Structure formats: structure tokens, C-alpha cells
Structure 1
Amino acid sequence: MSKSPSTLLHQHHLHFLLFILVLFHVPSYRADGGGTWLMLLPNIGISAMHMQLLPNDRVVIFDRTDFGTSNISLPDGKCRPNSDDCSAHSVEYDVAKNTVRPLMVLSNVWCSSGSLMPDGTLVQTGGNDFGGLVVRVYDSCDTCDWVEIPNGLAQPRWYATNHKLPDGRQIVIGGRDTFTYEFFPKTPEANTAVDFPFLVETNDPNMENNLYPFVHLYPDGNLFIFANNRAIFFDYVNNKVVKTFPIIPGDEPRNYPSTGSGVLLPMKIVNGSVDVIEFLVCGGARRSAFFNAFNNVFEKGLDTCGRIVISDPDPQWVMETMPMARVMGDMLLLPNGDVLIINGVSAGVAGWELGRDPVLSPVIYRPNNPIESRFEVQTSATIPRVYHSTAILLRDGRVLVGGSNAHDKYEFSETTLYPTELSLEEFSPFYLDSSVSGLRPVIISPVTGSKFGYGNRIGINFAASDNLDPNSVTVTLLAPSFNTHSYSMNQRLLVLDSDIPTTDPETSNYWVCATMPPSGNIAPLGDYILFVVHKEIPSEGIWIHIE
């Protein structure tokens, strides 16, 4: 039977498409529409520009003190000194109660940075104008508030990055027109800023592109630092660059205001060491996009990710293509080792009114999949999360999403492009779906708040409703991060060295033995969330403290 012309034409088109796919190695993307969205609070009073999860399951949130009057009043009739502004610009969100409590912050925290200290207090540094030299400390309780140290920094820090160090201090790196680093708390031996030429070398004179550098502690004690399009290993003790990495292919910038996002991929500990350490950076904007946006030309953002094995003697970048371009996206490590890419726009750059075309669909990146099947497009949100949006992972595996204010004041008019967003939402990844609840482990012991030392062997008792596959169980440890401007400071996920689970004959539950990280170079002192993961489905986490 002869084929019709339309059938032959259709087959010709299919053959041609197959030829194109093979020729250009077009990656395939799964669009499973996984995950669900839920509105938590439609109005927390402020726009969530900065967020940090605390070890009591509360979240400190703040924006800036010169936005104007916010939508939440300070308690007890308080007003900021020498001001008629009696509204709050910081709140504490109680995850369990789904409520917020206003906090008093005095100095300008706009585009600042922060980190948890080993005792769980939040130390938050810098900001704009009269906030640039300020260090703020928050120790959470029902009546606690910010305590401010007016000259806590040696130099003003605006758009800087903080990172915890093995000795309990934190290093504060960079900032606009600040090409140095310093430490907090200060010591007699280290109480001034130290010049950091790498920040001069990566600085574009008219647009920086090295602000909020991506900083990660490497297991040998050095810092891996990525800024603009370059990366180094840095020995902060001796103020020395010990290794320089190749420039990322394409030569395009990835840091603010081009604003991609970067993560250290999960580190697997085997016999007390981590042999393979990889860094992933995704999205951003072309070098020309910043100037074009000021002329109302909004270039498409970058749709590429660069991945590099920084532990390799001769590391080389491997480039991948995302399902869509993304600028100002947030990259979060999930408890099962996946990477969630969420928020942002697909055109323009970071800055007031300089971004366009919000990206509503999160993407999950599966680092262990074959290179052309790592991205999965998730269920779309309905609220644009553009400039100054944030996202953090909660202990139960949900992702808290907030913020979005592309304007230099609060703007709520419906005629405004991307009005200021005061809501908090949750995104629940696929692993929280009821269809897989039987696979989800439930940790029975140890209890949240347990304390362990480096190298301790611990027994974890857990239950699972469905039959357990003992070869598909891992134990992971997550460091809570300080999120702002598309970067989660101190974010790291460790896959602990653990045995194959065994059955508890008395309860029919399971035991798995795991070994705590061997040193502060791999896990700085402080609070972590421990998960048991079964077939990629994580338990609710428990807080543990490494001391």
C-alpha cells in the first residue's frame, strides 16, 4: 500500500529532527511537573531579601531599613531612633506555628551577608551606608532581638560573602569597592582587613561582576572561591593563592549583577576523606546585558551550567544546558543530593527594574544522572520571584520561598511591573508526595538536639512503612545556609560513611551506623540537619550539633 504525500512529509520531518538531535547533541529534559506549591502567609510585612534558618526551626528574615514604611509594626509602640518609621524591617518566622514576630534592626542591612556561629547565633555583617561597618548578632528566643556592634568590621562591606571556618570564626570576603577580607570575631592577631588581589583582578570597573563571590571551604582547609568567571584555591592563613582554575568556557560572568548561582555538590565521605569534590555554577547574564538593560534592551540570560571536579589534578569545566535561561535563580542542595534551581528571570540582570520574563518553573538537577538527563522541570509557581527573592530548605524537606522587590521602595500598585511581594510560599519537592510516603524513613533516635564529636560512630534507629531496600539507604548531613541574592552562604551537604542497615528484631525497625565527619575542614563546628534517605526519599531531618 502506497503512502500518502502527507505521511511521507511527516516521516521526512521526523528523520530531519532526529538528524538535528544527533548532530547537535540536544539534551533531553523531563517535564514531570513534580512538586507542589502552597501559600503559607500572604503578608509577612516585609519583602524577604535575606533569610537564615536557625537551629530552633525559626527563620530570620529581613530586607532593608530605607525602603519606607513596611506592612508590619514594631512591637510595644517602638519606633526607630531619630525616625518616624515605627515599622519593622526584620521578622522571625516560626515554621511550626506559621507566624511571624517583628524585630528591631537599626542599621541598614541592605545587601548584607551572614553566617551562623558554632553556638547557633546568627552573626550578620555589613550593608549599605550607615550599615556598612555594623555587625549584628541575633540569638533566637520568644523575646530576643537584634544586638548591633556599630564598628564591628574593619572596612564597610556591601555585597560581601561570609563563610564559617574550622576554628569557629567566620571570614568576610569582598564587597563593593572593598577588595579585602577580614574575620569575625576579631582577635589581637587578626583585627584588620587584608588585601585580596583576586577581587581586583576579577572586578569589571563599571559593573563589578564579582560581588557576593561563591566561597566554599575545601577539605584541606583552603577556600575555593569563584568570582566573575574565574576560580582559585585560597590559603587565607597565609594570604596566598595556591591554585588557579581555568576560566569558565564562554568567558561570561556569573556573579552579581550578572547573578548566576553556585553550589558545591554533595561530598561523600569514605574512610574519613572526600576524594571527589565538584562545583556547579548555573545561569547568569552576558557581559553586555547590564548596559543593554539600562537602555531597555533585555538580553536573554545564560542557559548554561559549568561543572568542574575541583579535586582533580587537572580540572576542566564540563558545560551543560538548562531547560531555560535563568538569571537570579537560587540553587539549593536537597537532602537526597539533588539540586533545586528556583526563582529568577530569563532576561536582563539584577538591579532595580533590570530583569524581565520571570521563570516560574523550578528545575531539579540530578548530579548522578547521565549528562543529558539531569534536568527535570517542576510544577510552575504563580508568583514571580524576581530581584531580591530568596529560598531556603527547611528541616522537613520543604523549600521556603519569599521576597521579590525590583524597586528601591515598596511598590504595591497593580500597574507596577512586578510589585513588591510580601508573601511566603512553600515548594514541596516530589519526595514529599503522598504516593511515596511508604518509602520515607522516620528517625526514632537520636533525638533532635543531640551532640556529637568529629569521627564519632552513631547508631540511627529509623522506621519505614514499605519494605526497605538496605542497599538504597544513605545518611546525609546538611549545613543550613544564609540566602540572599541567589547565593546560599555556607551551604554544604555531606554523605556520611555508613553501614548497610540491619533490622531491629524487637521492633521491626532498622538500625544504620554512620560516622560523623572527621574534621572541621569538612564540617565546621555547629549545627547541622541529619537525614536518612531511602530510594531518594529523605526522612524529616533532626538537628544535631558537632562540637
Structure 2
Amino acid sequence: MSTRPSRSFLLFYFYLLASLTRCIFAGEAAWNGHTPPGASKPKTFSPYYVAPGAKGYSSSSPFLQYKGDWQTIYSPNFNHQAVQSTCQKHASVSFSFNGTGVEWFGNCDERHGTASVYIDKNLAAVINTNCDATSPIPSQRQFSTFSLRPGFHRLVIENSGDGCIDLNDIVVTRVGQSSRPPLRHQSQRRSSASDWTLEVDGSTGVNAMQLAVISETHAIIIDKVEHNPLTINHHPAWAGLFELQSRQVTPLEMQSNSFCAGGSFISNGTLINVGGNPVVVDHTSAADFGDLDGLQAIRIIEPCDNDHCTTRISEFHDSVRMASPRWYNTVIRIDDGSAMIIGGSKKGGWINNATVNNPTYEYYPPKDIHGSNGMPIRSPFLEETLNSNLFPIAFSLPDGRVFLAANNDAMIYDWKTDTEERLPPIPNGVRVTYPMTGTGLLLPLSSKNNYAPEILLCGGSTLDDKQPDFKISSQDPASSQCSRIVLTPEGIRAGWEVDHMPDARLMPDAVLLPTGQIVIVNGAGSGISGYGNVKDQVGVSNAANPVLTPTLYDLSADLGNRFDSQGMPSSSIPRLYHSVATLTPDGSIMIAGSNPNLDRSEIEYGTEYRVEWLSPPYMHGARPEISKNKAKIGFGETSSLEMNLLSSSSDLKIVLMDLGFVTHAVHSNSRMVYLNIKRTSGNTLYFEGPPNSGVYPPGPGFLFIVEDGVPSKGVKIMVGDGKSPEVNQKAIDNVLKSTQPDQYEKSKETKNDNSE
């Protein structure tokens, strides 16, 4: 490495020092002027972060080998107070390491240029370290990969010569003895058309705590505030737009902390993301990330078109907010197209209790019903189901009422009359809501039985929700129980029908397929949801013994013969707390997430960014096709579509599906309706829309045709007129007059207690 600086490099060096001084005291953005807890002096914030289980190396490490003209620049503003920089073409640095991932951190500004990055002699990326800043922004993540096979690797960074590049730090991801397949990996041998397959392909960039498909081509992923590898505006992102075909992710900017928020589409196709967590001052403070208190937040995501999906997340805290703070709330779309916001906690914590419980409903847009004038409406059910009643399982029913399950209990709520009908308790003492997390589905609706609603609840725990955390173990067994009830007078009198999955599961995800079958994935065989609370933690996970093999549930089979795991490919990726799964429009199942940690971690059960794709057998053969369709379907109206079928004489069905908003094993709004076929004429299919807004609440959905059990790809449509739900300005004004933004945490920030 040369020790004699060139004249051009000296000019750049003095420019860098002067610019850094301006950057520190300019106060351009909150995360450029962060003050660590217990300190009084501002410090520059950067995305640089060494996760537990990873290892950092400074630019002066003897393990780094420099070639060409590199210079050491000293500044108290750098990590380790020094950075290596070069402006020489083809100057390079190499680094050998043992791990499954590596990150390169360096400065960026308008004078920096591009670099070629090689892993094991293969070109991994060409990185542009130039950014639109006259002042250097230090320690930005320039390159990262987290999908290398365990073992030794060699990283080489070479300057392309169109500017300067810097090296501040290298971070190596280490996962002990765990085996991590690469981002593109087939989990089983090449299969025939009759096989299920599981493939690892793509990275979410932010942990997939919340997931919703927003178009035929895109999904949105939302996380909590933490040190994700995906960055935006020089700080870690906690939301991303995921392209389903290319499997690429684009970071999205978000204002407030969305930790454990709920979400739902409304009748005009807008997605709302509701609630969250306060700023956590001793870990991810506002000075670090620039985040705001999210407890009362309503984040608005406008509808996304397939070819022009430039989704942004809008927040207007002074004019659009909830009337009360909510963490771990559930949100569903009801029959008037508005969103019903259910329960939650008034502040972050782990298990709910009477001091923080928010046993109320409110609506978006706010309603003036039952004398509420937009303010929350009390729920006796949510008062009586403590302690394990966060993220209640809820579905809007065909008669306009709402099914609710919380803890070990269930009911039907009539939101128009504010009355509750209690249902039989869930059998055998099984609790199904956080932290004894199970999952639930509204089973497919059909005119053949007059759209009689039926509910399926699977997994959870029989643990006592009143006992202290030190008496709970990560090894306490989960429940294998699935309970099923028909919500008609006769069905309610008959009570719950009990079945059992092949494996006990806590935190499972149940996904409806267009065929009417259900796939259950993810989860743990023991423990309880959350992290950092119970004894015998694995890493800091409260749960253990991940269940790695999906199971298929056949609705039409006889009791005792409905589950089948034979032929299902097993995963090598534990999917525990903060995991998700959803059907995608092409018919495959997207599986992502898992992060039972306070922040990004590489210890056992660390933060997971890899995406898996579970493909049913129909994905591997010929399929029918919807070639042309209308953008809107009216209630009870005859509509049509053009199709290409595989046979002229086939069993044909048409299904309308809401793919839902998924978080914490809650699949809000997940829905499937068999539509009535009127007739076919050539390649034209005539069918009736849902009979009313109870059977399918107005809003977006996906249409599939199913020929002899083989579904087409889904096409996005709008059910109803696509208009916004009714707006009651009086109720809105009262909410704004009666509350303040983040009123419950207005003058204080929450200190993190390392728990959920």
C-alpha cells in the first residue's frame, strides 16, 4: 500500500475533512446528529451495525490487504476514527473470511465513483458509491450479501477509476454451525408435475414482519425500526416494495415506528397500516432513524398498478390518526368498505394486562355510531379475554357481523347494533392469540350452502396466560389442535369440531389456495411468541423446535383424514416469531421473515431475509388462463371474462380471493368466494359478482378460474364501485379535537425493556 499521497488525493483529503465538519454541525437530518444515551455530544449516525453473531473489522485490520494507492484519513467522525480511501483506478482491497455473509461500509458523496465487488473471483456487483451530497456521508452500507455457503470466502473491492472509494469497515455474518442455502436454491431435486417444490429465491432486505400483496406484480413488506441491510436516505429502511417476478426489493420511506402494526385494504383499494410502537430511546432513537411514535399512526398506501407501482407510504399525523394508541391491533374491512380497528395494547410490552389493554373498536374513516362521535367503543369481550388477547383473530361475516377469537374464547359482534353473541369456548383450553399464537381462516364461501360461514383455528398453546414469564419455558409444548365451527344456529349448537395437525405448531400461517385447499407452514413446536422473556431461551427466542415441513389440509375429507404432509418438501430455514406467508397471484406461496430479536441478529434464530417459494403441483404443468377481464365486478351483476382452457369438457369454477394482510399469524381479510357461473360461450365465461357486500366486502381482490382442479394465475379486480367509504366529517373533527398526535407518549419516549 502506497504511503505517499498524490496531489489530487490531498485535495480530496482536505475537502473531505472540511465537509465532514460541516456535515456534523449542519443538522441536515435527525440521523446525522444523533446523541447516544448518556452523552451530550452529537455523533454522526450511520447504518453501520454489527449484529450479535456477526464480527466487524476496521479498515486498519491486518486481515485486509490493500493494493495500489490507498491513504489513511483520520477523523473523529469515522468509526474507529480512520478510513482507507483511494482515487486510483484498479486500486483494490481483498479480505478472506469464514462466514455466510459480508458487508462493506464506506463514505459517499458527489466525488465518489464506482467499484467492482468480487466474491470468490466472481463479479458479485458493480457499486456506485456516488451520492447527491456535497458533504461526505460516512459509513454507508455499500455492498452486502447474506447468502453464501458456510465456509471460507474471499472479498475483493476494486476501484473503477471514475472517482474515489472508501473503506471504513467490513462486517462478516457468522451463523455458527447453521447451514444457509444461497438466495437461489432448490430445496429438493427437480420434480415432476405431481410434486410440490420449495425454492429459496430473493431477499426482502427488511424483515418481513408484515406482508400484503398489492398488485399482480408487487407485495409490500413492513418491519419495525431496526438495522436492516436495506437503506433509504442514508438510514436503514423498515419497509420495502417487493417485485414478485424479479424478486427485487425497493426501499420505502416511513415516518413512524410500525412495530407490530395491523393493516387492511378499504373499498377504494387503499391499504392502511395502523398503529405500532413508540420511539425506543435507548436503542433505535429518533435521532438515529428519524422515526416518530407510531401508536396512533394511520399510514396510507395508495393503490398500485402493475406497470407503475411507485408505492409510497404517506402519513399525516396532524389530520389522520387513531383516537387511541394501539400496538398489536387487528384491522379488517367490513361490509360498508371501511376498516374496523380492533383491540391491542396502549403501549409496547409483552403480554397484555388490564393496565395497558385497549379493549375497544374504532373505525377508519371514523364513524358516529352508538354515541361515539368517532371515539373508541368499549368491548366487554376484549376486557374479559385478558391476558392472551392481542392480535385477535377476526373476519367479516356474510351477514355483516364480525367473528372474533381471543385467548380461549370466541364471539360474533354486530357492529351496527353494538351487541355480542358469545360462542362456545375453544375446546381443550387451547389459546389462539398472542402470545399463545395460533392462526385462523374463514373457509371458502359458496351459494351451495347459502354462504354459511365456517371458521378454522389451528395451533396455539394451552399454557396458563396468568402465570409469570419465569415459569414459562421455550420447551413447553405447543398445540396441534385445529378447531372448526359453522356459524349458523345449528352449527353453533353443535359446537367446535376438533382435529389435529401432524405437528404441534405455535405461530403457524394458514394459506388458502384457489383449489380450496389450505397449506399450513411456519411455526414452532414449543414455547411462546416473543423474545427475551421466558426461561430456556434459544438465542433470545421464547419459542424453539421449529416445524420445517408444510402440511396440506383438505376441507372435503373426512375428519381424521384431512391432513397430509407426504411429498411436502422440508425447509432448512426456521420461521418463528415475525414470520409470514401468503398466496401470490401466480398461485405460489411466498414465505418470509423470522426475527425473534430486539434488533437484527445473526445468533441462533437470527433475523431472516431470505424468501422461500412453495409451489403446488399445478405450478409445474399446463394451466388455464384468463386472457381478458373487466376491472370491476358489481354486486349481483353479471360480468364476463375471456379465457383459454385446457379442454372443452372440464369441471370449471371461478373464485374470488382476498389475499389478506398478514402479520403475527393473523391473516386479516383472507377470503375466498365461489362465484356463480351463468354460462360459457366459446372462450367467454359469464358469471355473477358476489351477491352483496357481506359475502365480499367492497374492495380489491383477485380472480382465478379453476379447471379440473388446476387454477389460472390470478388477475386483480375491484369489487364494488371502487369509491371511498363514507366520510363523516363531524366524527373526524371530533377525533382531532379530542386527541393529540401521539398523546399518550407526547412528552416521553419509551425505554426499551428488551421484551415483546
TM-score by length of 1: 0.84
**Aligned match of 1:460:** 641
2:254 alignment counterpart:
105
Which residue identity does 1:326 align to in structure 2?
R
Pick one of 147, 151, 170 that aligns with 2:339: 170
Consecutive unaligned residues in structure 1, runs of 5 or more: 1-31, 80-85, 505-509
Please give the secondary structure, in 2, of the residue aligned with 1:250: helix
Q: Percent identity?
A: 30
Which residue does the alignment assign to 1:116? 265
Q: Deviations over 1:155-196 (max 9, x none)?
A: 111111101122221010000210001000124564111111
1:72 matched to 2:230? The reply is yes
| 2:495 aligned partner | 316
1:45-101 C-alpha deviation (Å, 9 max, x unpaired): 211000111135311101101x2x210110xxx25xxxxxx1111101111332111
What's the secondary structure of 1:349's corresponding residue? strand
Q: Which residue among 197, 202, 217 is the counterpart of 1:36?
A: 197
Change (3 A) 1:317 1:104: same
Task: Tell me which residue corresponds to 2:375.
Answer: 192
Alignment of 1:136-175 (within 5 A): 136-139=299-302, 140=304, 142-150=309-317, 152-175=321-344
Match of 2:610 among 423, 447, 471: 423
CA drift at 1:477: 0.4
- State the Cα distance separating 1:295 from its structure 2 match: 5.1
Deviation at 1:308, TM superposition (A): 0.7
Instruction: Confirm whether residue 57 of structure 1 aligns to residue 217 of structure 2.
Output: yes
| 2:717 pairs with 1:544 | yes
Task: State the shift of 1:291 in Å.
Answer: 5.2
1:142–1:478 CA distance, 2 compared to 1 (3 A)? closer
Cα deviation code 1:366-407 (max 9, x no counterpart): 101111221111211121111100111111101111110011
**Would you say the 8 A contact 2:204–2:221 is kept in 1?**
no
- Give 2:358's aligned amino acid: T
Note the 1:245-264 alignment, pairs <5 A. 245-264=423-442
1:324-339 to 2 correspondence within 5 Å? 324-339=503-518
**C-alpha distance after superposition, 1:440-496 (max 9, x if no partner):** 21112325xx2121111123332233x3543x2211100121000001101110011
Structure 2 residue 215 is the aligned partner of structure 1 residue 48: no
| Aligned-partner Cα distance in 2 for 1:103–1:357 | 34
CA distance change for structure 1 residues 530 and 295 in 2, over 3 Å: closer, same or farther? closer
Q: Report what 2:542 is aligned to.
A: 354
Corresponding position: 1:393 with 2:596: no
8 Å CA contact 2:216–2:714 kept in 1: the answer is: no
> How far apart are the structure 1 equivalents of 2:529 and 2:300?
28
Gap change, CA 1:425 and 1:293, over 3 Å in 2: farther
1:182 counterpart = 2:362 = yes
Partner residue in 2 for 1:522: 695
Per the alignment, in what secondary structure is the counterpart of residue 323 of structure 1? coil
- 8 Å Cα contact 2:473/2:527 also seen in 1: no
The offset of 1:269, in angstroms, is: 2.3
For residue 295 of structure 2, the aligned residue among 124, 132, 138 is 132
1:17-60 deviation per Cα after TM superposition (whole angstroms, max 9, x unaligned): xxxxxxxxxxxxxxx9942112221x332110001111353111
Counterpart for residue 279 of structure 1? 455
| CA 219–296 in structure 1, closer or farther in 2 if over 3 Å, else same | closer
Other structure's SS at 1:107 match: coil
Matches of 2:210 and 2:474, distance apart in 1? 29
Stretch of structure 1 that moved more, 280-289 or 352-361? 280-289
Structure 1 Cα separation of the partners of residues 331 and 494 of structure 2? 26
Say whether the 8 Å CA contact 1:328–1:386 is kept in structure 2. yes
Cα contact 1:336–1:533 (8 A) shared by 2: yes
CA contact (8 A) 1:33 1:379 kept: no
- Following superposition, the deviation at residue 220 of structure 1 comes to 1.2
AA aligned opposite 1:36: T
* Counterparts of residues 483-502 of structure 1 (less than 5 Å): 483-499=662-678, 501=680
Contact 2:657 2:673 in 1 (8 A): yes
Which one of 552, 556, 570 corresponds to residue 368 of structure 1? Answer: 556
Q: Does 1:482 align with 2:661?
A: yes
Aligned to 1:10: none
Q: Report the Cα distance in structure 2 between the residues aligned to 1:398 and 1:293, rounded to whole angstroms.
A: 41
Report the CA distance shift for 1:347/1:291 in structure 2 as closer, same or farther (over 3 A). Answer: farther
Distance in 1, matches of 2:340 and 2:714, equals: 28
Shift of 1:309: 0.8
C-alpha distance in 2 between matches for 1:188 and 1:264 = 29
Q: CA deviation at 1:142?
A: 4.7
Relative to structure 1, the CA distance from residue 495 to residue 102 in structure 2 (aligned partners, 3 Å threshold; closer, same or farther) is: same
- The answer on whether the counterparts of 1:55 and 1:120 sit within 8 Å (CA) in structure 2 is no
In structure 2, distance between residues paired with 1:138 and 1:321:
39
Query: Judging changes above 3 Å, is the alpha-carbon distance between structure 1 residues 137 and 362 closer, same or farther for their aligned structure 2 residues?
Result: same
- CA shift in 2, pair 1:419/1:432, >3 Å: same
Give unpaired runs (5+ residues) of structure 2.
1-192, 279-292, 346-356, 532-540, 722-756
SS at match of 1:98: coil
Q: Tell me the distance in 1 between the aligned counterparts of 2:596 and 2:271.
A: 26
CA contact (8 A) 1:292 1:299 kept: no
Cα distance in 2 for partners of 1:293, 1:308 equals: 35
Cα displacement (A) at 1:534 = 1.7
With over 3 angstroms needed to count, the CA separation of the structure-2 counterparts of 1:316 and 1:441, relative to structure 1, is same
Distance 1:40 1:355 in 2: 26
Q: Is the 8 A contact 1:293 1:349 kept in 2?
A: no
> Cα gap change, 1:33/1:432 in structure 2, threshold over 3 Å: closer, same or farther?
closer
Amino acid at match of 1:174: G
Mapped to 2, the partners of 1:144 and 1:444 lie a distance apart of 26
Deviation at 1:247, TM superposition (A): 0.9
Which has the higher mean CA deviation after the structures are superposed, 167-176 or 149-158? Answer: 149-158
Question: 2 CA distance for matches of 1:409 and 1:125?
Answer: 21
Q: Which has the higher contact order (CA 8 A, sep 6+)?
A: 1
Q: Distance in 2 between matches of 1:496 and 1:125?
A: 31
Distance in structure 1 (CA, Å) of the matches to 2:508 and 2:525: 9
Query: Taking structure 1 as reference, are residues 143 and 219 closer, same or farther at Cα in structure 2, changes over 3 Å only?
Result: closer
Q: C-alpha distance in 2, partners of 1:160/1:391?
A: 19
The answer (yes or no) to whether the contact 2:275–2:296 under 8 Å persists in 1 is yes
Q: Which has the larger Rg?
A: 2
Query: Relative to 1, partners in 2 of residues 1:33 and 1:143: Cα closer, same or farther, differing over 3 Å?
Result: closer
Q: TM-score if structure 2 supplies the norm length?
A: 0.61
* Maintained 8 Å contact 1:219/1:274: no
Q: How many angstroms does 1:500 deviate by?
A: 6.3
Query: 1:405 maps to what in 2?
Result: 595
> Which whole-Å deviations, capped at 9, do the CAs of 1:118-166 have from their partners, x for residues lacking one?
2222111001122111110112455442111326001111111101122
